Amino acid sequence: MAETITLGKALNHGLRRALENDSKVVIMGEDVGKLGGVFRITDGLQKDFGEDRVIDTPLAEAGIVGTAVGLAIRGYRPVCEIQFDGFVFPAYNQIVAQVAKMYYRSLGNVRIPIVIRIPYGGGIGAVEHHSESPEAYFAHTPGLKVVTCSNPADAYAMIQQSIASDDPIVFFEPKRRYWEKGEVDLGLDLAGAYPLHASRIARPGTDATVIAYGPMVRVALDAASAAEEDGRSLEVVDLRTLSPLDLAPVFESIRRTGRAVIVHEAPGNAGLGAEIAARITEECFYSLEAPVLRVTGFDVPYPAARLEEEYLPDLDRLLDAVDRSFGW
Amino acid sequence: MANDESQPGADAPAGGFVQLLTPDGERVDSVTTAEGVTYSVDFTDDEYRGLYRDLVTVRRLDTEATALQRQGELGIWASLLGQEAAQVGSGRALRPQDMAFPTYREHGVLYTRGIDPIMPFGLFRGVDQGGWDPNEFKFNLYTIVIGSQTLHATGYAMGVTMDGKTGGPDGEAVIAYFGDGATSQGEVNEAFVWSGVFNAPIVFFCQNNQYAISEPLERQTRIPLHRRADGYGFPGVRIDGNDVLATYAVTRAALDNARHGQGPTLIEAYTYRMGAHTSSDDPTRYRIASEVESWKAKDPISRLKAFLTKQQLADDTFFTEVDESARTLALDLRERVLAMPDPQPVTLFDNVYPTGSPEVDAQRRQFAEYQASFEGSAH
């Protein structure tokens, strides 16, 4: 049943299968019904599953997540769509103060198996609030799990695994990769699938380790191809899970390569890269040939669309960092 | 509005409220609102006496908790003093299948649900965060961030509808508690919008106790709170929140409307927080003694006692026995609060994630080893 489909379509298939497999799964968000979502990720689902399972909500993000909490207490498994990364903040209180803490506060009596889907990142020429990378805010919050996919096959499996998990999960979707195609096994048996909270070597290499996630995995893979022409072998790790981090493969890689470059779109200051760099230093100090380097968005608000190519880490900035690592 | 407080409803705020028992203990047979809805109660003598027992008991337990806090046995206490009728009346109006979403002050509602009053004391003593199973008790966790639980209640109520559990006398209804301050929160207004749009089986029960810590009602609204409901498209009713009979009658009717699929109601229970916001507060800085005195004359318990006495439904023997059994409960509560064990340090890593986390597990191991390293030392 392997098909070549886009990442967006893979998510759509994954959501459809989750709705089919569990009658308690409901999708809720702005424009997710008739319209199928502004990115069409929920296309056709309301038509097939009805208005009670795929709910067009009032335009209020705190309401989406807050009512999802109540539905979860009632035994439902809500999948909330936040339309764009920059629109999640009205729901931030509910996510951080309620969703994340309910299981702890209740001494394990209340499970909140909510998935909060957030299209994130730049590169689509959008206006303000449509291109942000807020993952660190959520990864910093105990009680939440945070994952992100980089390719159609992972998108299909990870969205289903996230919905099936009893943990509350913030699911970041790399919106500029929605249209990239890849092979997906639509008959995938989740029981035998690659674990949700595990990172993966996306491309093996021997000379330096590039750590990426979400939309930057494609950039890292392209950089590795380019580096190969210069005779450098880059190993690319796709993190996939941002909280909890799964860094054992990263440490294992760096013990072989001795060099590490982390890349993400979010601003560098107090971003995921800072945490990863600190842990690499703790675990791999004697293996490092150079300091852990980061290639990130700058510490400025996300700029206007005509400047985003300069703002976003790209192949050249990543290879420049690799050069600096080798120049140490 | 007449100023003669001996007349029924004479003590109402401008615009009136539903009152079935005056501050002097005079029974009003029924009240018909401007919308043409008639409210009354039809209690047996035993039921009247039962309500009195509830009111006295929850006040006595509250008094004990305040004392425990003053003696250093609780970190903080949010007293319900003055709001007993609003809580007992609405709590007794719930049917067994109904679900309540409290703030952190609904100890009286908790009691009427038949729950052991010690349940929330873990939170106030600081040995846990107030953890219990909401579905077992039909009583959600105490919620501290103001107004957040109204959205949870709304979502739960949407789930009731999705489960097909409305539309008849056996239907389920949901009640969301909050205060006057919460009505300014965006999330509460979103809960109103959602409940209206989805016709959720919910009663929004606002205890307007006149103050949000120090800020008077005028800082939250320029119209009576119950009238906010107009803008969301469902009924809003103001009741005398110090009258347990009116509270019961109106809440029961609103809950029954909800369970029959007729959607939400906003109830504004007009009452007064006789004590401090919490034990950390000093109300003498923001309100005058004469105001507190005037509300003392509207006390929810003394009016029911006056009614029972006048109607010869109870005598001193009964009142003494109620006081005595409330005292026994309170002393038992005290003993059990004092016996609450401190949690083991390593339990702070428990219940972070239903499916666990290798990172939290690693920190737990490291912490346990660190703790063990002190064993046998003087410190």
Shared domain check, A213 and A187: no
Q: What is the mean pLDDT of chain B?
A: 95
pLDDT over 70, % of chain A: 100
> Quick one: tokens of B279?
């034990």
The confidence score (pLDDT) of residue B5 equals: 52
The confidence score (pLDDT) of residue B9 equals: 81
The confidence score (pLDDT) of residue B183 equals: 97
Average pLDDT over residues B5-29: 89
Strand, coil or helix: what is A184?
Answer: strand
Contact A108 B131 (CB under 8 A): yes
Q: Is A107 on the interface with B (CB under 8 A)?
A: yes
**A166: pLDDT confidence band, cut at 50, 70 and 90?**
very high
The answer on pLDDT for A268 being more than 60 is yes
The answer on pLDDT for B376 being more than 90 is no
B223-265 residue pLDDT tens:
999 999 999 999 999 999 999 999 999 999 999 999 999 999 9
Contacts B130 to A, Cβ<8 Å: 105
Tell me the torsion sign for CA atoms B99, B105, B107, B109: negative
Cβ atoms A6, A183 nearer than 8 A: no
The confidence score (pLDDT) of residue B199 equals: 98
A91-138 residue pLDDT tens:
999 999 999 999 999 999 999 999 999 999 999 999 999 999 999 999
Q: What is the mean pLDDT of chain A?
A: 98
The contact set of B with A (CB < 8 A) is: 128-136, 140-141, 143, 145, 148, 150-160, 162-163, 186-187, 190-191, 193-194, 197, 350-355, 357-360
Shared domain check, A159 and A243: no
Contacts B150 to A, Cβ<8 Å: 66
The confidence score (pLDDT) of residue A126 equals: 97
Shared domain check, A221 and A146: no
Contact B187 A62 (CB under 8 A): yes
The answer on pLDDT for A6 being more than 60 is yes
In degrees and rounded to multiples of 5, residue A29 shows phi and psi of 170, 180
Closest among B367, B333, B265 to B124, alpha carbons compared:
B333
B277 is catalytic: yes
**B6: pLDDT confidence band, cut at 50, 70 and 90?**
low
The shortest C-alpha distance from B157 to chain A (Å) reads 8
A90 cis-preceded (ω within 30 degrees of 0) = no
* CATH code of the domain containing A249: 3.40.50.920
Average pLDDT over residues B144-153: 97
Which domain covers residue A241, as residue numbers? 200-327
This prediction has a pTM of: 0.97
The answer on pLDDT for B2 being more than 50 is no
CB-nearest to A98 from B148, B157, B194 is B148
Average pLDDT over residues B43-48: 98
Shared domain check, A227 and A243: yes
Contact B151 A63 (CB under 8 A): yes
Half-sphere exposure for A262 (CA within 13 Å, toward CB)? 25
The confidence score (pLDDT) of residue B3 equals: 42
**B11: pLDDT confidence band, cut at 50, 70 and 90?**
confident
Q: Where among A132, A161, A192 does a domain terminate? A: A192
Contacts B360 to A, Cβ<8 Å: 142, 244
The answer on pLDDT for A219 being more than 90 is yes
B160-172 residue pLDDT tens:
999 999 999 999 9
The answer on pLDDT for A262 being more than 80 is yes
Closest among B12, B51, B3, B6 to B269, alpha carbons compared:
B12
Of A272-281, B27-36, B90-99, B187-196, the poorest mean pLDDT is in B27-36
Within 10 Å of residue A46's Cβ, how many Cβ atoms?
A: 20
Total beta-carbon pairs less than 8 A apart between chain A and chain B: 141
Contact A105 B130 (CB under 8 A): yes
The confidence score (pLDDT) of residue B45 equals: 97
The confidence score (pLDDT) of residue B375 equals: 85
Closest among A260, A248, A249 to A290, alpha carbons compared:
A260
**A45: pLDDT confidence band, cut at 50, 70 and 90?**
very high
The confidence score (pLDDT) of residue B8 equals: 73
Average pLDDT over residues A176-181: 98
Cβ atoms A256, A201 nearer than 8 A: no
Shared domain check, A158 and A250: no
Contacts B129 to A, Cβ<8 Å: 101, 104-107
Contacts B155 to A, Cβ<8 Å: 66-74, 78
**B110: pLDDT confidence band, cut at 50, 70 and 90?**
very high
* CATH code of the domain containing A100: 3.40.50.970
Cβ atoms A288, A209 nearer than 8 A: no
Shared domain check, A248 and A176: no
The answer on pLDDT for B4 being more than 60 is no
Q: In terms of DSSP bridges, do strands B31-32 and B38-39 run parallel, antiparallel, or are they unpaired?
A: antiparallel
ipTM of the prediction greater than 0.95, yes or no: yes
For residue B164, the one-letter residue type is G
**B379: pLDDT confidence band, cut at 50, 70 and 90?**
low
The answer on pLDDT for B150 being more than 60 is yes
The confidence score (pLDDT) of residue A4 equals: 98
**Structural domain boundaries of chain B?**
28-337, 346-374
Which one is catalytic: B60, B107, B125, B277?
B277
Shared domain check, A137 and A39: yes
Tally of domains within chain A:
2
Closest among B76, B154, B119 to A107, alpha carbons compared:
B119
Q: Is A77 on the interface with B (CB under 8 A)?
A: no
Within 8 A by CB and 6+ apart from B20, the residues are: B27, B28, B30, B31, B39, B40, B41, B240, B243, B245, B246, B249
Contacts B347 to A, Cβ<8 Å: none
Q: Which CATH number fits domain B28-337: 3.40.630.30, 3.40.50.10490, 3.40.50.970, 3.30.460.10?
A: 3.40.50.970
Contact A58 B190 (CB under 8 A): yes
**Residue A293 bridge partners (DSSP):** A261
Residue A19 to residue A8: CA distance in whole angstroms: 17
B291-305 residue pLDDT tens:
999 999 999 999 999
The confidence score (pLDDT) of residue A39 equals: 97
pLDDT over 70, % of chain B: 98
For residue B9, is it left (φ>0), alpha (ψ between -120 and 50) or beta?
left
Which one is catalytic: B70, B286, B336, B365?
B286
Shared domain check, A70 and A183: yes
B48-107 residue pLDDT tens:
999 999 999 999 999 999 999 999 999 999 999 999 999 999 999 999 999 999 999 999
The answer on pLDDT for B1 being more than 70 is no
B260 is catalytic: no
Residue of B nearest to A168 (CA): B353
The confidence score (pLDDT) of residue B237 equals: 98
Please name the helix (run of DSSP H) or strand (run of DSSP E) that holds residue A148, with its range, or none.
strand A145-148
Residue of A nearest to B155 (CA): A67
